[in-house]
Amino acid sequence: MNSANQALTSSERFDKGWRKIQEIDGGILQQRYRELLAICLDFARHLVQLPFGDIYSRPALDNRKRELAIVSAMAALNAFATFGSVLQSTGSPCAGQA
């Protein structure tokens, strides 16, 4: 984690992650978050803070290149069972082709 993210509070990391989810999501990830709230609040918040607030929002790749890297990795791992849901959650035009 870089020093900029270390200075953010838990709430700021969540807000940054939630903004990133809203930017890339067609509603599926937001719905999954709401479902997880009923099961485990802390886990749901961590799933927004770490992957989206700390990692996915890093400026090294734009959303298109990041999606391409994720889809390529999933294809390389033969992870086709979850492939379609990932494409749907990103709003990819390839979603109906998985």
Q: Residues 23-60: pLDDT tens digits? A: 888 788 888 899 999 999 899 999 899 888 888 888 88
Verify that 82 and 66 share a domain, yes or no.
Answer: yes
Contacts of 15 (CB under 8 A, 6+ apart): 53
Which structural domain range is residue 98 located in?
A: 61-98
Kindly indicate the confidence band of residue 1, based on its pLDDT and cuts at 50, 70 and 90. Answer: very low
Verify that 2 and 30 share a domain, yes or no.
Answer: yes
Joined tokens for residue 42: 């802390």
Verify that 25 and 4 share a domain, yes or no.
Answer: yes
CA angle 58, 62, 63 (to 5 degrees): 100
Verify that 56 and 72 share a domain, yes or no.
Answer: no
pLDDT of 15 over the 90 cut: yes
pLDDT of 88 over the 70 cut: no
> What is the tally of structural domains in the chain?
2
What predicted TM-score, i.e. pTM, was given to this entire model? 0.64
pLDDT confidence of residue 45: 92
Distance separating the N- and C-terminal Cα atoms of the chain: 33
* pLDDT average, residue stretch 59-63: 86
